[in-house]
Structure 1
Amino acid sequence: MAFIQTALFAETLEMSTDIHAVIPMAALRASEDGKLPVLYLLHGLGGDHTEWTRLSSVERYAEDRGIALILPRGDRSYYMDMKQGAAYYTYLSEELPAIAKSLFPISDRREDTFIAGLSMGGYGAFKLALRQPERFAAAASLSGSLDIVHRLSEPGVFRNHEEQRMFGSVAELRGSDDDLLALAGKVAASGNQPLLYQCCGTEDFLYEGNRNFLKHGEEVGLRITYEEEPGSHEWGYWDRKIQRVFDWLPVEKNR
Structure 2
Amino acid sequence: MAVTRIEKSNPKYARKNTVTYTLHSDNLDRRQDVTVYNPYSQATDLPIIVLLHGVYGNNWVWMDLGGAHQVYESLRKQGLSEFVLVMPSDGGIWEGSAYLPLEEQGNFEQWIMQDVIETVTNDLTSVSEKSNLYITGLSMGGYGALRLGAKYAKQFSGISAHSSITQLSDLSLFTDKPLTAYQTADINESDILYWCDKNKKHLPPLRLDCGVSDELIESNRALVKNLNQAKINHQYQEMSGGHEWPYWNTHLVKTLEFFDHIEKSKSK
TM range (shorter): 0.7 to 0.9
**Residues 233 and 113 of structure 1, relative CA distance in 2, 3 Å threshold:** same
Mapping for residues 57-206 of structure 1, pairs under 5 Å: 57-63=67-73, 64=76, 65=80, 66-74=82-90, 75=92, 76-104=96-124, 105-109=126-130, 112-148=132-168, 150-151=169-170, 157-161=174-178, 163-167=179-183, 173=187, 176-188=188-200, 191-206=201-216
Note the residue ranges of structure 1 that are not aligned, 5 or more in a row.
Answer: none
Q: Which runs of 4+ in 1 moved over 4 A?
A: none
Structure 1 equivalent of residue 3 of structure 2: none
Q: How many residues align?
A: 239
The SS at the match of 1:99 is helix
**TM superposition shift of 1:184:** 2.2
1:55 and 1:235 in contact (8 A); partners too? yes
**TM superposition shift of 1:6:** 1.1
Structure 2 equivalent of residue 15 of structure 1: 30
**Residues 157 and 22 of structure 1, relative CA distance in 2, 3 Å threshold:** closer
TM-score normalized with structure 1 length? 0.86
Post-superposition Cα deviations, 1:27-56, rounded to whole Å, max 9, x if no partner, equal x33x3xx22111000000121111000012
Among residues 61, 66, 71, which one is paired with 1:51 in the alignment?
61
CA RMSD of aligned residues (A): 2.1
**TM superposition shift of 1:95:** 2.3
Does residue 235 of structure 1 match 2:251?
no
**TM superposition shift of 1:146:** 1.1
Structure 2 equivalent of residue 223 of structure 1: 233
Matches of 2:263 and 2:36, distance apart in 1: 19
1:107 and 1:113 in contact (8 A); partners too? no
Post-superposition Cα deviations, 1:214-252, rounded to whole Å, max 9, x if no partner, equal 111122122211110121000110011101111111123
**TM superposition shift of 1:157:** 4.4
Matches of 1:236 and 1:219, distance apart in 2: 32
Matches of 1:24 and 1:47, distance apart in 2: 22
1:48 and 1:73 in contact (8 A); partners too? yes
Among residues 25, 35, 38, which one is paired with 2:45 in the alignment?
35
